[in-house]
Structure 1
Amino acid sequence: MVDQHPTSFAGIQPTPAWAFDQYESIRERLPGTSARRAQPRFVDSLAPLMGEFDAFVFDAFGVLNTGPSVIPGALDRLARLQANNKTILMLSNAATASHPALAAKYQRMGFDLNEETVISSRWLLEQHLRQTPNSGTWGVIAPEQSQPETLPLPSDLMRPIRADVEDATLEQMDGFIFLSSEGWNETLQGRLTDSLTRRPRPVKVANPDLVAPRGDLLTLEPGYFSHLAATATGASLEFFGKPFATAFEAALARLPGIAPARVLMVGDTLHTDILGGQAAGMSTLLVTGHGALQGMDIHDCIRRSGIYPDFMTPSI
């Protein structure tokens, strides 16, 4: 199946430098930074850190894979950690696929992961929906292959928001759930913005990422379009995923008896993986060779953002 996540929008083709500036522009909506200002310790790979931590939490895109391709060495690294009785979790902002489908995808890639060792932002949203009294009708932004009907909401309280949606349907929604940007475009964004301008309503964002690395490209993700709409309309946003606390609380809940400082959060994005990991008290490793900061002056990015990881490596 051809991936239809947008690689451009309104004349913008996202680059690492552009994405970094976009994250900086929304800093007021993100967790606060750590007081730590020491320069990160550089390591050639994750190998020298294996004995320093009891558990390892991995981002997916830019750390384990880029799009459908496994990053060289990632399979072996996780296998070596598991062989040394280290606890492994994957903490992903992916929400296009259902949680079982996401775990199955990484199993097909060769990773020894399952639904218990994968935490997705879609799963976090689903837990929230199960625990929150149902009220009103929600417009779900997602392609058909995302199986939005598996969300824990009564079917009569969900409406798909796709290219053929009518403006009258948009107006009837009491809120929106942004699961996936696949198939999203300027026309749909404009119609959603117009509707939210006429009547601001909440937007639950299942993927807070602004961009995601897919091979040589960055795609635009639900976080970008949601922030764009909120800035234009004043709509309230509720996020499920990194860098927000619920994602890291869910990871730590699966690591009972392990102090957060003994957990290494491994990610490629300063404003999601590293910022969120630090806010949760975890140690952090920034991967620079494959993801959202590829080709950037990393030390300048750290200085400008004030987000200082504990460690830095080109690849795990």
Structure 2
Amino acid sequence: MIDQHPTSFAGIQPTPAWAFEQYESIRERLPSASARQAQPRLVDSLAPLMSEFDAFVFDAFGVLNTGPSVIPGALDRLARLQADNKTVLVLSNAATASHPALAIKYQHMGFDLDEETVISSRWLLEQHLRQTPNPGIWGVIAPEKSQPETLPLPNNSTRTVRADVDEATLDGLDGFIFLSSEGWNETLQHRLTNSLTRRPRPVKVANPDLVAPRGDLLTLEPGYFSHLAATATGASLEFFGKPFATAFEAALARLPGIDPARVLMVGDTLHTDILGGQAAGMSTLLVTRHGALQGMDIQNCIRRSGIYPDFMTPSI
């Protein structure tokens, strides 16, 4: 199946440098950085850290895979951790696929993971929807393959937002759930912005990422379009995923009895994986070769952002 996540928007083709500046521009909406400003310890891989921690929480894109391709060495690294009886979790901002489908995706790639060891931002959203009243009719931004009808909302309370939606239909909705940016474009963004300008309503964002690495490209994700709409309209955003606290609380809840400092959060993005992990009290490892900071002056990014990982490596 052809991936339809946008790789450009309004003349913009996202690059790591552009994405870094975008994350910096929304810092007021993200958790605060810790006061720690020590230079990260450089390691060649995750190997020298395996004995230092009791549990490992991995971001997916840019650490384990780029799009459908597994990053070399990732399968072996997770298998070795599991063979050493280390607890391994994946904490992903993926929301296009249902949670069961995401677990199956990683199994097909060869990872020994299941629904208990994968925590997706879509799963976090669904837990919220089960526990919180959400009256009214909600527009779900997602392709058909995302199975938006499986969201735990009352019957007939969702409408899928597709390419042919008009502004009158959008105006009749009481809120929006942004599951996936697949198929999203300038026309749809313009219609959504116009509708939210006329009547601001809440937007629940299942994937807070601005970009995601897919091979040699960065795709634009729901976080980018949601921030763009909120800046233009004042719409209220609610996020489910990294760097926000609920994502890390869910991971730590699956690691009972383990001190968060003995948990290593492994990710490729300073503003999501590292920032959120630090805020949760975890130790952090920044991976630089394959993800959102590929080709950047990493030390300069760390200084500018004020987000200092404990460790840094090209690849796990």
Range class of TM-score, shorter chain: over 0.9
- Residue 283 of structure 1 aligns with which residue? 283
Specify the SS of the correspondent of 1:261: helix
Shift of 1:172: 0.7
Distance apart, 1:165 and its partner CA: 1.3
- 1:257 Cα deviation from its structure 2 partner: 0.3
Distance in 1 (alpha carbons) for counterparts of 2:29 and 2:298: 23
**Distance apart, 1:167 and its partner CA:** 1.9
State how far apart, in whole Å, the 2-side matches of 1:178 and 1:155 are. 19
> What is the CA–CA distance in structure 1 between the aligned matches of 2:10 and 2:237, rounded to whole Å?
22
Match of 2:126 in 1: 126
1:179 aligns with 2:174: no
Query: Percent of counterpart pairs with the same letter?
Result: 90
1:224-267 per-residue CA deviation (whole Å, 9 max, x = no partner) reads: 00000000000000000000000000000000000000000000
Equivalent in the alignment of 1:305: 305
Q: Which amino acid aligns with 1:44?
A: D
d(CA) in 2 for partners of 1:60 and 1:21?
Answer: 22
Alpha-carbon displacement from aligned partner over 1:47-98 (angstroms, at most 9, x marks no partner) = 0000000000000000000000000000000000000000000000000000
SS at match of 1:13: coil
User: Structure 1 residue 166: deviation in Å?
Assistant: 2.5
Provide the C-alpha distance between the structure 1 equivalents of 2:243 and 2:196, rounded to a whole number of angstroms.
25
Q: In 1, distance between residues paired with 2:301 and 2:167?
A: 42
Match of 1:63 in 2: 63
**Counterpart of 2:139 in 1: which secondary structure?**
strand
* Equivalent in the alignment of 2:245: 245
Q: Deviations over 1:25-68 (max 9, x none)?
A: 00000000000000000000000000000000000000000000
Report the TM-score, using the length of structure 2 for normalisation.
1.00
Q: CA deviation at 1:139?
A: 0.3
- 2:117 maps to 1:117: yes
Once the two structures are overlaid, the 10-residue window that deviates more, 132-141 or 67-76, is: 132-141
Unaligned runs of 5+ in 1: none
Q: Is the 8 A contact 2:166 2:191 kept in 1?
A: no
Match in the other structure for 2:49: 49
Aligned to 1:97: 97
Greater alpha carbon shift after TM alignment, 109-118 vs 153-162: 153-162
Q: Deviations over 1:166-192 (max 9, x none)?
A: 222101111000000000000000000
Unaligned runs of 5+ in 2: none
Distance 1:252 1:195 in 2: 39
Deviation string, structure 1 residues 88-112 (Cα, Å, up to 9, x no partner): 0000000000000000000000000
User: AA paired with 1:144?
Assistant: E
Aligned to 1:24: 24
1:302: how far off? Answer: 0.1
TM-score, with normalisation over the residues of structure 1?
1.00
Which amino acid in the other structure matches residue 221 of structure 2? E
Displacement of 1:129 in angstroms is 0.1
Distance of 2:188 and 2:155 partners within structure 1: 23
Aligned to 2:4: 4
RMSD (Å), alpha carbons: 0.4
**Are 2:130 and 1:147 aligned?**
no
Letter in 2 for 1:73: G
1:86 aligns with 2:81: no
Q: How many Å separate the matches in 2 of 1:150 and 1:157? A: 12
Which range moves more in the overlay, 149-158 or 109-118? 149-158
What are the within-5 Å matches in structure 2 for residues 263-282 of structure 1?
Answer: 263-282=263-282
Distance 2:177 2:21 in 1: 26
Quote the offset at 1:134 in angstroms. 3.1
The amino acid across from 1:120 in the alignment is S
The aligned amino acid for 2:271 is: H
CA shift, 1:135, in A, is 0.5
